[in-house]
């Protein structure tokens, strides 16, 4: 049995097929953990969702910002932009089943590889949050999302949830936040975060490399004393960061949709007290869009 983390697929099903062939993936023996952004920008979002739905428990996912965007489009809370390529999902005869499956996926997962804890998110974790905090807050949002999405035909409840979800403020965490503000901070941290201050104030305008942080900001995983520094956090979202493998962070978005590669990381227990053994496997991808599109 093998465990694999896989970075942002973004509707590139042909690349995913090549990667799974390279891995010799067996749904009956192996488990894939996808780090969000399953859909959009690439040409085959509906095929990606159908594939993962068919794999059952062998494909475990967390939601990314593009996945949430698809759900918002589906209920009429947002309108498609020129960059969106999810019409194949929205017009599919099995649309309802695919969207229902997507809405059931969490915003964070926790797994153990032997004695090593691994926290899975799409983008990042605020420095004040522990792994337990992150899972609890992600669960709060998931309950709201599932309740809203479970209403007849998506309905007003789903539109209200997604309309309230969008926005850049508040840009920091407070346990006193309630309602839409609380949900928005959690969603933004888990699905959009790259840079923040040492106090956890988030910045959403910059998406460059880790060394391009605006003045006063730093990559979220380099904040001194963050409360998840004692475990491994795996994430995607940041294609200009690329592959990164440290004992405390594993980054897997290697820009498949932009013509980079689609990456998987095989996880295995290290020697006692030595954390994880990781092996990166990647396949080259044809560009579906360019970053400037």
Please write the tens of the pLDDT for every residue from 56-105: 999 999 999 999 999 999 999 999 999 999 999 999 999 999 999 999 99
At residue 273 the predicted structure's pLDDT band, cuts being 50, 70 and 90, is low
**Can you give the pLDDT at residue 293?**
40
Largest CA distance in the chain: 53
At residue 114 the predicted structure's pLDDT band, cuts being 50, 70 and 90, is confident
> If DSSP codes are grouped into helix, strand and coil, which group holds residue 63?
coil
At residue 141 the predicted structure's pLDDT band, cuts being 50, 70 and 90, is very high
At residue 55 the predicted structure's pLDDT band, cuts being 50, 70 and 90, is very high
Measured N-to-C along each axis, helices 65-74 and 179-192 cross at an angle, to the nearest 10 degrees, of 130
Please say whether the beta carbons of 34 and 6 come within 8 A: yes
pLDDT in tens, 236-264: 999 999 999 999 999 999 999 999 999 99
pLDDT surpasses 70 at 153 = no
Residue percentage of the chain with pLDDT more than 70:
96
At residue 272 the predicted structure's pLDDT band, cuts being 50, 70 and 90, is low
Q: What is the mean pLDDT of residues 41-66?
A: 98
pLDDT in tens, 181-212: 999 999 999 999 999 999 999 999 999 999 99
How many C-beta atoms lie closer than 10 Å to residue 11's C-beta?
A: 29
**Can you give the pLDDT at residue 138?**
98
Q: What is the mean pLDDT of residues 10-37?
A: 98
> If DSSP codes are grouped into helix, strand and coil, which group holds residue 29?
coil
Residue 265: φ, ψ to 5°: -125, 115
**Can you give the pLDDT at residue 122?**
98
Q: Is 157 left (phi over 0), alpha (psi -120 to 50) or beta?
A: alpha
**Can you give the pLDDT at residue 142?**
96
As a whole number of Å, the end-to-end CA separation of the chain is 40
Please say whether the beta carbons of 118 and 232 come within 8 A: yes
Residue 48: φ, ψ to 5°: -60, -50
pLDDT surpasses 50 at 176 = yes
Q: What is the mean pLDDT of residues 8-20?
A: 98
CA distances to 18, 27, 114, 265, 267 from 280, in Å: 15, 19, 19, 4, 9
Whole-prediction pTM: 0.96
Tell me: cis bond preceding 170? Omega within 30 of 0 counts.
yes
With CA atoms as reference, report the closest residue to 131 among 113, 104, 105, 109.
Answer: 109
């Amino acid at each position: 049995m093998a465990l694999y983390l896989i970075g942002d697929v973004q509707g590139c099903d042909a690349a995913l097929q090549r990667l799974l062939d390279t891995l010799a993936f067996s749904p009956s023996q192996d488990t894939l953990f996808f780090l969000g952004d399953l859909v959009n920008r690439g040409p085959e979002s509906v095929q990606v969702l159908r594939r993962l739905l068919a794999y059952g428990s062998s494909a475990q996912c967390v939601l990314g910002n593009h996945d949430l965007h698809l759900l918002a489009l589906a209920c009429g809370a947002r309108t498609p932009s020129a960059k969106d390529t999810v019409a194949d999902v929205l017009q599919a005869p099995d649309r309802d089943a695919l969207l229902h499956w997507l809405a059931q996926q969490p915003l964070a997962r926790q797994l153990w590889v032997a004695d090593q804890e691994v926290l899975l998110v799409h983008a990042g974790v605020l420095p004040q949050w522990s792994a337990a905090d992150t899972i609890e807050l992600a669960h709060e949002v998931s309950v709201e999302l599932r309740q809203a999405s479970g209403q007849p035909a998506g309905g007003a409840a789903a539109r209200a949830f997604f309309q309230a979800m969008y926005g850049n403020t508040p840009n920091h965490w407070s346990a006193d936040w309630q309602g839409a503000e609380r949900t928005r901070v959690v969603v933004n941290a888990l699905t959009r975060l790259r840079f923040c201050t040492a106090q956890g104030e988030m910045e959403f305008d910059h998406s460059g490399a880790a060394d391009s942080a605006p003045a006063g900001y730093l990559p979220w995983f380099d904040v001194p004393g963050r409360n998840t520094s004692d475990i491994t956090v795996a994430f995607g979202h940041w294609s200009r960061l690329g592959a990164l493998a440290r004992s405390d962070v594993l980054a897997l978005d290697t820009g498949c949709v932009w013509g980079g590669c689609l990456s998987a990381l095989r996880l295995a227990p290290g020697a006692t007290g030595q954390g994880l053994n990781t092996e990166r496997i990647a396949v080259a991808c044809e560009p579906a869009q360019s970053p400037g599109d």
